[in-house]
Amino acid sequence: MASSIAQLAQDLRARKASATELTQAALARARARDDLNAFITLDAGAALAAAQRADATITAGDVQPLAGIPFVHKDIFCTNGIRTTCASRMLENFVPPYDAAVVERLDAAHAVSIGKANMDEFAMGSSNENSHFGAVKNPWDATRVPGGSSGGSAAAVAAGIVPFATGTDTGGSIRQPAAFCGITGIKPTYGRVSRYGMIAYASSLDCGGVLARSAADCAQVLGAMAGHDARDATSVDRPREDYVAALSTTLQGLKIGIAREYFGAGVEPGVAAAVRAALAQCEKLGATLVDVSLPNAALAIPAYYVIAPAEASSNLARYDGVRYGHRCGDPKTLEDLYTRSRGEGFGVEVKRRILVGTYALSAGYYDAYYLRAQRARRVIANDFVEAFGHVDLIAGPTSPTVAFKLGEKTSDPLAMYAADVNTVAVNLAGLPAISIPAGFSEDLPVGLQLIAPAFHESRLLAAAHQFQLATDWHTRSPRA
């Protein structure tokens, strides 16, 4: 489905197609590309019922831009009556009794969800190889990862199955898969999108966002998703912006800071060259390129991999085999119930992060690890404040490499964690960022990351859109 959301909406209103027909086609494409393993659950019945409701609203004159557009939810958002697994054996058969806020808002816009996308278990991973339901494959090269944890969402969009997908970003889990799969992905400011009904990994870092072909498509979807929600204590009460109207803002006079730390050791030459060429294009469009420094960028990975596992240790304590989730067979004692239920229900990476987090929070180690990591977090955020005193956006490669081979890093957790080196600082600082296609290296997509001050999503989307008007990287598609 290469058409933009705006084009599909125009076709629906011109009666060139119906929402039911678009949904049937998306379901057919999803089944045809089951080799990607991008989906955990396809629900044709619910999807077609939603499409019929969308057709009725369109016939009645509904002008909502997402009405009748098929998409997929990352399987981390609770969906009333539809299985929500977080790609874990622990929740393999969990059916929520309510919808997440993101689900409610896209339902209210009459968009049509065809199912739930595969992901890293509990959003813990950078490659989508940690799923209980198996690894997702990259549509550009089936021997490579799509990125994680929103890899199923990214693969579904890149393969043309759906025009957009929801995702979550805790340390780069929207932007990195977007870069690896050659699509656009935006992580909004922390608090811009409600976390209600989004199964928690690290509560102070998790953000819901969008993966789509273009910044224009992301603007349409984020406009429907964003907004205050009283049910989420971290949701920020700010006026909703018109992201689509802001897309016309040009790059003339925009100052883009090139973060030298994002081009350091470990960045592949082909990736650096593609990103620098993309920034040169921005300069031709009127932007001014300025060298900036984020001197404490090296602290981001160690700080993140203390804070996120600590919060995961706390959040995942609820999965004990008692109230819901996986329960071991024939427990002998309460301790046996807890131990075996959690041991059987969680995968290797989830267990690793729970252990790290529990250790960091334990008596005698809290000050040495968790408290110091939180102090480092503040220092990292201050670096961005200082840089944004001189520039409007900060740029660099989304990932230091192109998509790596399946299995290449599974035996080396530290190498896997290093894949997030350019993305985790944004989450620690609570800032918005976007990854857009910027070229190719070794015939694989390269992503350009743009970072903005808090609540300046419009600036991000406009800059990305203007770049995409002048280039065609975002229109490239992998062969089926």
Q: Which residues, 6 or more positions from 407, have their beta carbon under 8 angstroms from its beta carbon?
A: 129
SS3 state at 56: helix
Does the annotation mark 149 as catalytic? yes
- CA-angle at 58, arms to 54 and 59, nearest 5°: 115
Q: Which residues, 6 or more positions from 96, have their beta carbon under 8 angstroms from its beta carbon?
A: 78, 79, 80, 81, 82, 84, 197
The token pair at 250 is 């040009």
Beta strands in 330-479 (DSSP E): 393-397, 433-441, 444-451
Q: Which of 113, 127, 173, 313 is catalytic?
A: 173
Phi-psi region of 330 (alpha: psi -120 to 50; beta: other; left: phi over 0): left
Q: Distance (Å, rounded) from C-alpha 126 to C-alpha 128?
A: 6
Q: How many CA atoms lie within 13 A of 311 on its CB side?
A: 21
Q: Which of 106, 132, 122 is nearest to 47 (CA)?
A: 106
In this structure, how many other beta carbons lie within 10 angstroms of the beta carbon of residue 80? Answer: 16
SS3 state at 385: helix
The token pair at 259 is 């973060």
Cβ contact 397:267 at 8 Å: yes
Q: Which of 457, 474, 467, 480 is nearest to 219 (CA)?
A: 457
Q: Which of 4, 18, 74, 235 is catalytic?
A: 74
Torsion of CA 99, 105, 111, 115, to 10 degrees: -30
Does the annotation mark 173 as catalytic? yes
Does the annotation mark 187 as catalytic? no
Q: Distance (Å, rounded) from C-alpha 132 to C-alpha 136?
A: 11
The token pair at 67 is 């009405």
Q: Distance (Å, rounded) from C-alpha 214 to C-alpha 132?
A: 30
Q: Which of 18, 88, 126, 149 is catalytic?
A: 149
Instruction: Give catalytic residue positions.
Output: 74, 149, 173
